[in-house]
Copies of this chain bind each other. A is one copy, B any other.
Amino acid sequence: MAAGSPGVQSGESLLFLTDEQLRKGIEAMFFAYRAFTADPDRILENYEYGRAHHRAIHFINRQPGLTVNTLLTLLGVTKQSLNRVLRTLVEDGLVEARVGREDKRERNLFLTERGAALERELSDAQRARMRAAYRAAGPAAVAGFRQVLEAMMDPEIHRHYQSIRDGAA
């Protein structure tokens, strides 16, 4: 592993690929992600929920009616983990799981009014921080931010991401 050696430079500078630059990116990801989750986490403490509930609520709001299996793929956890979370959300009346119309084995997930209210509270907080960061960095930086993040995702997830990226339902 040729540490820090960007190799012979072609036309464009490759200095942005040094180990030093990569390390800065890695640390920035760590610190930024912690801030990114901090606001919703604080809100969730007031309820009896955790980050896992937030994620489920987010994607159900995003694609109302999505199946458990789809949600499983998006979240990248086991059905047992997800089930524990979904059960409490359904019991508490934040999520409704309707039997599928075409395939009755499937469950289509929807937020109730209460679920939507919590989703709003959580995403308002998360968006506020993101908005401040976007504003501070400017539109060109935001474009680069998204480009790098997309290039970092696992290809299969990136396909999912793209397919839901531009349309709500």
Show the binding face of A for B, using Cβ within 8 Å: 1, 12-13, 15-17, 19, 21-36, 38, 55, 62, 76, 120, 123-124, 126-127, 129-154, 157-158, 161, 164-165
Main secondary structure of the interface of A (DSSP, over half): helix
Closest to A164 in B: B27
Known: A17-B134, A21-B134, A32-B148. 16 other contacts (CB 8 A): A23-B127, A27-B165, A28-B145, A32-B150, A32-B152, A33-B33, A34-B153, A35-B153, A38-B154, A132-B151, A140-B140, A141-B144, A141-B147, A141-B148, A142-B148, A145-B148
Asked if B23 and A142 make an inter-chain contact with CB atoms under 8 angstroms apart, the answer reads no
User: Given A140-B144, A151-B136, A29 and B36 touching (CB < 8 A)?
Assistant: yes
What is the count of identical protomers in the complex?
A: 2
Asked if B24 and A165 make an inter-chain contact with CB atoms under 8 angstroms apart, the answer reads yes
- 4 shortest A-B CB distances, which residue pairs? A144-B144, A141-B144, A133-B151, A145-B148
A60 to chain B, nearest CB (A): 14
